[in-house]
Structure 1
């Protein structure tokens, strides 16, 4: 039969594992916070999802959108670097991306080709400029960079010319409509002229936002450049929102914008989601909302993979921390079992603390169980540290190194002898077991401890010969 002393020894060992795991988890959380690991991991995941490795395209526009930039620390302070959010809700992601794609559709309807040409000219100039900067003495590269710069200027000048004409046409139409008050045809002409002016202005601002994004990508520590890119994007979105709202087929407008995206997985995936939405929802007025929900599902699936990246990193860090903490504390599993088997008072104190921990402390959610972007971070490291200290404060934990030869935690000085070799072998074996156990994480050991404590509570307490049958509630 399962002896109560054996069960109590197991509970005591597991409780020590839990305490050490909580310490490692708390240190890991501090490291992750210091390195901004969650935010950086989410950032890389978004860039990968939106096919924007240089952070000058769709991902950059998403992070500069008001729904996302508003949750970034120091986003409006040009004197401090922006701290990217460690969590992004699927709803905010889908709404921001839907807004951006809708404006791109507005632009694509009339000036998509011109904008694409201007963006290609920007990319060509940036490539030529970098090549010339790498070889400053090469006159051919310098000449190629100058030609690319001129082509870039011409592409923008073509858009500016259209913008000037659209502005003049709108002013003339507005003046005519004001002079003939009540003339519906002139009023409609003025409205149409304003729409065309807003479209070309949105196109110019979108181009300016991309150029600002390129400048920000070259100098990521310059907060002012990132703020400028965000402000320019917001101006472009403001011009386009009114026009996008007037389209009878919002999903069709978005689809036109998607066709102008760079070739890659993002474009293909989003076009597939558009087709999926059209098959699922026939009513045009409900398709945009259905597409938004499909975007959320797409985002959640991607963030599950991103959470896997973070979990693998966390497991590696926890394993390294487990080595340090276990060796520093001499949490040798073999020694723990021996001490708890021989010391009834120590075993009873650990069992009592374990029972109290199971009753009062909710299951901690450590960093390895958190998925950046899809799941919020678990409890703060401060709460976990406080829990560790509270439970260990009045306990004499059976860990630690000692200089007393009669103490089980005695550290034998290295020497060439069979006795030392035997001691070192057993010590390494016990420490290796503890390192592996602690690296499993606090949630695993809390769940395991809860099961063992429940088994003990359901069994026959020490001193009793029979456990009465449970009474019905």
Structure 2
């Protein structure tokens, strides 16, 4: 087998993986959008962030869920939620009819947006905790005693007890921080503070406030810096959450890839065998691959996936079963034939698994490989065209 044939076989194999990867990606995207995996994962990640981590006690997790629900009810986030819900409803209208009651139940399961800007999270969190309103009632910093966000947050959990019980130590603490604790407006702010605030959240915010205090001295500027630090805190946490989601998505992609390989009977061993023996099929597939190097980006080209999959010339599909189990039984006894048949079954399963793992690599991966193989087949990229600005090469 000479090198051009090997390159053509590789090109055909990669092209088949590419079109099946596109199909698997579409299936996974439909499932993820339909079941709102991203939205649920984002909400769960925010709950863990507010609760203080996955090892937090159950009571704090419950408080965090209640607080996150309040955040999601805020107009800033609720607007994003409505936009996401409309997209899901549009997708479900295109899906197969499943009955009005089932559709309504699926729409009601919408958990929130799939993406939340860090600025929106920071503003919503601070507003829900009423931090800006509390700052408006803080005593003006003096040379002797400067009030900062760290002090405000440390006394946050003591506020309700402090204004309602004059004999408590909390009463004296908040009296040193706030101007007039008898002010009805201040009492209204304190009484509307959320109850589902975990100690871990306050500790995290206090650390962030301390970091802001080092950078900024004025309370007003410190508040702006505090908001920026919360955005950074949120972004870093969501980066880790995104990594977890990608690992989970890769597992789903492998399952989908193996399912697609089985349903389409995509046996890598059989494909290589057919491409190496049948020059007509090899030529047809390599020509299609060379003409569709923009396959992943061109919607018109992608619409031809079904036609390509339905093409009998492709070495995939149930019509190839007879060839996959083809066996010359002349001169063989029943025991040898049985062993060979068992070996063929295991080879078929191995071919499916190999194809499924390859499909799970994703269309972008195979698209890059396809372009590289095409360049090798065409003896490398085309030389740069001569222009007036470039000297001619002698």
| Structure 2: distance between partners of 1:458 and 1:338 | 25
Separation in structure 1 between the aligned mates of residue 108 and residue 126 of structure 2, nearest angstrom:
27
**Whole-Å Cα distance in 2 between the matches of residues 425 and 437 of structure 1?**
18
Partner of 2:184: 197
The answer (yes or no) to whether the contact 1:335–1:409 under 8 Å persists in 2 is no
In the TM superposition, what is the alpha-carbon distance from 1:333 to its structure 2 partner? 0.9
Where does residue 452 of structure 1 map in the other structure?
373
Alignment partner for residue 114 of structure 2, among 49, 71, 86? 86
In structure 2, the residue matched to 1:36 is 36
Distance 2:268 2:44 in 1: 40
Q: Give 1:391-402 correspondences, 5 Å limit.
A: 392=309, 396-402=313-319
Q: In the alignment, does 2:221 pair up with 1:286? A: yes
The 8 Å contact of residues 28 and 253 in structure 2, kept in 1 or not, is answered as: yes
TM-score (norm 1): 0.58
C-alpha change, 1:203 and 1:394, in structure 2 (3 Å) is same
2:123 to 81, 95, 101: 95
Match of 1:23 in 2: 23
Across the aligned residues of Structure 1 and Structure 2, the Cα RMSD in angstroms comes to: 4.2
Query: Displacement, 1:290?
Result: 2.5
Contact 1:23 1:385 in 2 (8 A): no
Aligned with residue 328 of structure 1, among 246, 263, 282: 263
- The separation in 2 between residues aligned to 1:315 and 1:435, in whole angstroms, is 12
Tell me the alpha carbon deviations over residues 272-305 of structure 1, each in whole angstroms, 9 at most, x when there is no partner. Answer: 2222222233455433333222222211111111
Q: In 2 relative to 1, CA 399–202 (structure 1 residues): closer, same or farther, beyond 3 Å? A: same
| Partner in structure 1 of residue 82 of structure 2 | 73
Partner Cα distance (2:341, 2:189) in 1:
78
The Cα offsets for residues 64-83 of structure 1, whole Å up to 9 and x where unpaired, read as: 22211111139999x97362
Count how many residue pairs are aligned between Structure 1 and Structure 2: 324
Partner in structure 2 of residue 5 of structure 1: 5
Give, in whole Å, the separation in 2 of the partners of 1:411 and 1:354: 32
Q: CA deviation at 1:34?
A: 2.5
Residue number among 346, 354, 374 corresponding to 1:433 in the alignment: 354
Alignment partner, residue 312 of structure 1: 247
User: Which residues of 2 match residues 161-180 of structure 1 at below 5 A?
Assistant: none
- 1:399–1:196 CA distance, 2 compared to 1 (3 A): same
Cα offset, 1:402, TM superposition: 3.0
TM-superposed deviation, 1:357: 3.4
Q: Distance in 1 between matches of 2:230 and 2:271?
A: 52
User: Would the aligned equivalents of 2:133 and 2:189 in 1 still touch at CA under 8 Å?
Assistant: no
Structure 1 distance, partners of 2:233, 2:36, is 25
How has the CA–CA distance of structure 1 residues 288 and 383 changed in structure 2, closer, same or farther, with 3 Å as cutoff? farther
Structure 1 spans left out of the alignment, 5+ residues: 119-154, 160-191, 214-260, 364-381, 461-467
CA gap of 1:61–1:385, structure 2 versus 1, over 3 A, is: farther
1:357 equivalent among 292, 311, 314: 292
Give unpaired runs (5+ residues) of structure 2.
52-59, 87-104, 139-151, 166-178, 329-333, 388-394
Q: Counterpart of 1:331 in 2: which secondary structure?
A: coil
What's the counterpart of residue 419 of structure 1? 340
Mean Cα deviation higher: 14-23 or 346-355: 346-355
What TM-score do the two structures reach when normalised by structure 2?
Answer: 0.68
Instruction: Write the distance in 1 (CA, Å) between the matches of 2:280 and 2:50.
Output: 60
